[in-house]
Amino acid sequence: MNPETMTVVLGDRSYDIFFGREIYSLFQEWICRFYPGGTVHVVTDRNVASIYGDDIQRWLAGIPHDVLALPPGEEHKNFDTVREIYGFLARGDAGRDSLVVAFGGGVVGDLAGFAAATFLRGISCIQVPTTLLSQVDSSVGGKTGFNLPEGKNLVGAFHQPRAVFIDDSFLRTLDDRNLRAGMAEVVKCALAGDPELWDRLLSAGGKWRAFEGEEWRWIVRRAVAFKASVVERDEKETSLRKILNLGHTIGHAMEKSGGYGRLLHGEAVAMGLAWESILGMKLGVTGGELVDDLVSLLIDMGFPLDDPGVALTSIAAAIGMDKKRMVSDVDLPLVAAPGRCELRRVPLAEIRRELPGIRAEIRKRSIARELNIPGGDAIREESPVSNLVRVGDEVYEIRPAEEKIDIAVPVESEPEIVEEKAAAAEPEPASPEIAAVVAEPESALPLLEIPLEEVAPEPEPAPPEIPVALAEPEPEPEPAPPEIPVALAEPEPEPEPAPPEIPVALAEPEPEPEPAPPEIPVALAEPEPEPEPEQAPPEIPVASAVRTVTLADLYWSQGEHSIARRIIGEILRDDPANLRALAWLAARPGGDPAEAELLGFLETMAKEYGYDLS
């Protein structure tokens, strides 16, 4: 292998990868040599065009070409953008002798590559990656595609480039965040198949930004060489190439659940690497010392290891749409040792069951490393209106943000919690078996374990009735409390009937925090207190979830019948005339809707918090 050139050997689809600095002259020479009579169509994005637009014109001087600058970001990696590229190629009279140049990061490479793979049933494409992530990963191997609302990269094609030009001078224009995102893919390659690269990264730790010149070229070449060797042995990802998905199962779920564009792809992969290493430890594949080294390295590099805005329910659902899924299982690469991976077929239910424990472990390790992960507002105590989970000696508050239902937790599975305010405000039980969990709308938190801290208690919006016999009740901030005679002592509390009328002349009343005060004669100057608010718990603000008949089919095929029926029920609730949903329901008769909804809810809670409903 020439130190400046690497060849990916794939028969008639073989191609060269060129490494260097300021290699535009080689880029121009290559095009003139292999596409002397064809047109060149450059696809880039607006950020890259603002920096290198003049350079592109200079490098292609004398060659017929046109340039399309797309809106940047993962949120634009969709079919609408692909259709824009199709129109660009059609207007430019692109033929089968034309060449598409993907000039940009991973999003540009995937979109331009897919358009080239499908326009006129396939035209040639070359990759000029301008980010570290695209240089070490997406530009090599021929994977192209775009995202759907249901999942990441669910539409795509294998279309190998005709050449790849990797110029490390592009890295000088990257900000820290994008450069760091590329390092996640470097860490992945080191863990999956290059122990020497792993040792180099561990020795550098948080000083990786000091890499320069030949050191950067060595790191990029090592990562690319590993990926090329895997692609040569398994081009279409039927077996070995699946190890390149290390960190991507949970990483893609994080990326999709948070909304495309919230996380950079590399940031999501770093989270996936950490979470999946802990899963591997729980499954007996990954050693604890390796998990410690990986988590410490990622933190030292500056990666957050959790996204507080992403609910575990969302992650669990997104994993079910992973393109590596096999019915109800996922082919998951797990690290056995630095440079060595094992492929395990793991049931989706097992991955989902482990998610709460993994998140708690990530939280604990991050706190131990003094990493500040925003977790929303802390609460003072084990509030009866919060869903609390005890992990070791710590108590965490978890508030779901996916399902628009009242969350309930079986009492017998509730972690032991000391209720310090039981005498002051005792919540009305929803049933003997299930306690309702209510979240205040103005303080609704994303699904995240939050260590409890001392803060001022929040006033109860609608306190339950308290017998008058209680001594010196603490006054609630009720508007204009009613006057009560001094002579009335220890009346029998009644839930429904109104107490007798109160004379006007009585003075010096003691305030009483009763939600349903006795009637007051009209002559009293005091206004009638506000009516008791509805006792139904306020709805938790949630991000909109995509519910489709296809998603219901997926859950049904995985044996999650109650969830599938609940999805169809919600579709029909919003659109009673939905023909696909009605046909789906007619094809699967039976099942009480109320029972299905309850079972679906309990299954969701079981997966969320690891309860055993058997």
- pLDDT at site 151: 86
Rounded Cα distance, 530 and 462, in Å: 11
Rounded Cα distance, 142 and 130, in Å: 17
What is the SS3 assignment for 138?
helix
What are the tens digits of pLDDT across the range 408-438?
Answer: 333 333 334 333 333 333 444 444 333 333 3
| Lookup: tokens for 474 | 């603490």
Indicate the pTM of the whole model: 0.61
Burial class (CB within 10 angstroms; exposed 0-12, middle 13-18, buried 19+) of 424? middle
- Of the candidates 548, 534, 262, 566, the residue with the CA atom closest to the CA atom of residue 403: 566
β-pair type (99-104, 163-167): unpaired
**CA 86 to chain CA centroid, nearest Å:** 30
- pLDDT at site 466: 41
Listing DSSP states for 319-350 in one string gives HTT-TTEETTEEEEEEEEETTEEEEEEEEHHH
Largest CA distance in the chain: 106
- Of the candidates 26, 24, 25, the residue with the CA atom closest to the CA atom of residue 2: 26
204: number of Cβ within 10 Å: 18
- pLDDT at site 574: 83
Beta strands in 430-511 (DSSP E): 434-436
| Lookup: tokens for 162 | 């005709």
| Lookup: tokens for 261 | 């564009």
Rounded Cα distance, 300 and 298, in Å: 5
Contact predicate 384/430, CB 8 Å: no
**CA 31 to chain CA centroid, nearest Å:** 41
| Lookup: tokens for 124 | 């040639």
Give the relative orientation of helices 561-574 and 549-557 as an angle to the nearest 10 degrees.
170
CB neighbour list of residue 80: distance below 8 Å, 6 or more residues apart: none
Contact predicate 283/344, CB 8 Å: yes
Residue segments in the chain with a per-residue pLDDT below the cut of 70: 1-3, 323-324, 327, 370-546, 590-614
CB neighbour list of residue 350: distance below 8 Å, 6 or more residues apart: none
Amino acid sitting at position 549: V
Rounded to 5 degrees, what angle do the CA atoms 367, 370, 376 make? 60
120: number of Cβ within 10 Å: 12
Domains of the chain from N-terminus onward: 5-174 (3.40.50.1970), 240-368 (1.20.1090.10), 385-463+539-544 (no CATH), 549-609 (no CATH)
Element (H, E) at 43: strand 40-45
Radius of gyration of the chain (CA): 30
Contact predicate 421/457, CB 8 Å: yes
Listing DSSP states for 498-547 in one string gives PPPP--TT--SPPP---SSPPP--TT-SSPPPPPPPP-SPPPPP------
288: number of Cβ within 10 Å: 10
Burial class (CB within 10 angstroms; exposed 0-12, middle 13-18, buried 19+) of 567? buried
Rounded Cα distance, 225 and 221, in Å: 6
- Of the candidates 256, 247, 343, 251, the residue with the CA atom closest to the CA atom of residue 306: 251
Q: What is the 3-state secondary structure (H, E, C) of 177-232?
A: HHHHHHHHHHHHHHHHHCHHHHHHHHHHHHHHHHCCCHHHHHHHHHHHHHHHHHHH
Burial class (CB within 10 angstroms; exposed 0-12, middle 13-18, buried 19+) of 322? buried
Rounded to 5 degrees, what angle do the CA atoms 220, 225, 227 make? 100
